[in-house]
Amino acid sequence: MEYALLIYGDEKVWASREGEEARAHSERHQRFAAKLAQQGAMRGGQKLALPSAATTVRRRDDDVSVTDGPFAETAEVFGGFYLIEAADLDEAIALAKDLPENVVEIRPIAPMEMS
């Protein structure tokens, strides 16, 4: 079964990482991705640009608006994801525990129905 490991955190903390701290954090992610690949669990993933670079499209019936910025202003924002293969939720949790982030949401991937 496929799961998305959704990474949440503080945009200000991410933006303030520089030099050795930024390199060390990036290396922790590289090791995590390598571990997933070695176990055959890696299906994909990406780091996202900071939420300040987001554009939001909102629809209410036929009224559509486009605004700069993220959908909601919160302390924790969505920063990236890993798409993994795991036998079940317990295995996905075990993998997520090794992710070098403070908040990780695990979501099963729902198959798209094509008509």
Domains in the chain, CATH or no CATH each = 2-108 (3.30.70.1060)
CA 54, CA 113: separation in Å to the nearest integer?
28
Q: Which of 10-19, 53-62, 93-102 has the highest mean pLDDT?
A: 93-102
Average pLDDT of span 79-101: 95
pLDDT at residue 72 is higher than 80 = no
The larger pLDDT score, comparing residue 28 to residue 69, is at: 28
Bridge partners (DSSP) listed for residue 102: none
> What DSSP element (H or E) covers 86?
none
> What pLDDT does residue 23 have?
94
* pLDDT bracket for residue 2 (50, 70, 90): very high
Measured from the Cβ of residue 75, the count of other Cβ atoms closer than 10 Å reads 9
CA 106, CA 115: separation in Å to the nearest integer?
28
> What pLDDT does residue 52 have?
79
pLDDT at residue 40 is higher than 90 = yes
The larger pLDDT score, comparing residue 105 to residue 111, is at: 105
CA 73, CA 99: separation in Å to the nearest integer?
24
What length does the chain have?
Answer: 115
Average pLDDT of span 72-81: 79
